[in-house]
A = this chain, B = another copy of it.
Amino acid sequence: MQHGARKKTQTMADVAVAAGVSKSTVSRAFTQPDRLGPETVKRIKNIARQLGYVPNHTARALSTGRHGNLALIVSDVANPFFPPLIRAAQMEADGSDFCVFLGNSDEDPRQEDRLIDRFVSQVEGLLLVASRLTDEQIVQHARRRPLVLINRDVPGIPRVLIESATGVRHAIEHLAGLGHKHIVYVNGPSSSWANRQRRNALKVAARQHKLEVDLVNAHVPSYESGRAVVPQILDSKATAAVAFDDLTAQGIMTGMAERGISIPRQFSLVGCDDVLGAATYPSLTTVSNRSDEAGRAGVSLLLDMLSGRMAGDTRLVLDTHLVVRQTTAAPAQEKPKGSPSGQPERV
């Protein structure tokens, strides 16, 4: 009450009156300036600015069907894999004057479905990252709205895939080159497309290089579970490990350190996704991640679908590579356990 609150937002009609023209003219001044007199456009825009007029997207959407919004649904915002992707997607969308809704499915397919229903009537397109829905559900939704997938491979649906297989293959070559003969792969979530891809690539490459491979399961990709699987890793007698992701790898580093095992001197480790930068010590050898590019590309693809039409089966693959840092080295001569010098015993 105090400030003489004029809360009324300015409408097109207000601008029209102030400019002495009709609503349609104001509308066209913004959407089809070339169909109007140049000075008229200028005058209207000036007045609009003075009045603090901001076009109402809701109204526009109602009559055009174009909302200028995208929905971005991820499984866990707090997982460091996603923020760069979200950021890139958001900025890419913004560049084309699109707003983005963010949804967090929390790894729950039902929640994901709910969110989509909730969003679908206010967006022009959906972007699903690492979706947990079934192929059928995805196809259903894709029927209603343009939809693109990231890290999920459903034939017929436009998708962008981060091909970490390449990087994993390089990791194996790298380890083999250093002289390792026996490694372990630490699994991520079994429902994860990325995990299946990585594990398979690893197995194939290991076979080629004649490496023995053991599998260990850290169902949740996190620091804690990485730390928890260290005993299993050690039991395997392997000299190196590839972890599903950097978080897991980081946990493993801690677990090793707690047992007095020096990385990379006594054990080599490679992560995946490069979400930690070089922020561990020693800095982690890992497979590069291009989630930001994936986000950008996904939005770009979606935008393409919205303007022109696209062939239904776009499949964009982003390659990765190995980032060699400081957690990999030649295996120790002796097994860590039998080391004669004053190495700390395992706890």
Contacts and interface: CB of A to CB of B under 8 A. Distances in A.
Interface of A: 3, 5, 7, 9, 54-59, 61-62, 67, 69, 72, 76-80, 82-84, 86-87, 90-91, 94, 97, 99-104, 106, 115, 117-122, 143-144, 223, 247, 250-251, 253-254, 257, 277-281, 283
A278 B224 CA distance: 9
Nearest to A283: B254
Contact of A5 (B58, B143, B223, B253): B143
Nearest to A253: B281
A7 B144 contact: yes
Contacts of A87: 76-78, 104
Contacts of A77: 83, 86-87, 90
Give the top 10 A-B pairs by smallest Cβ distance, nearest first: A102-B102, A77-B87, A78-B83, A56-B121, A57-B121, A90-B104, A223-B279, A58-B61, A78-B87, A77-B83
Nearest to A91: B104
26 contacts: A7-B143, A9-B121, A55-B121, A56-B121, A58-B61, A58-B62, A58-B121, A59-B62, A69-B101, A77-B87, A77-B90, A78-B87, A87-B104, A90-B104, A94-B104, A99-B103, A99-B118, A100-B102, A101-B102, A223-B277, A223-B278, A223-B279, A250-B279, A251-B279, A254-B281, A281-B281
A291 to B, nearest CB: 10
Nearest to A257: B281
Contacts of A83: 77-80, 82-83
A227 to B, nearest CB: 9
A307 B255 CA distance: 50
Kindly report how many copies of this chain are found in the complex they form together.
2
B120 A54 contact: yes
Nearest to A115: B94
Contacts of A69: 101, 122
A143 B8 CA distance: 10
A87 B117 CA distance: 19
Nearest to A250: B279
Given A87-B76, A143-B5, A279-B254, A58 B101 contact: no
B76 A67 contact: no
A126 to B, nearest CB: 13
A99 B122 contact: yes
Given A99-B101, A257-B281, 13 more contacts: A54-B117, A57-B118, A57-B122, A58-B58, A69-B122, A76-B87, A79-B83, A80-B80, A90-B103, A91-B106, A99-B118, A101-B102, A251-B279
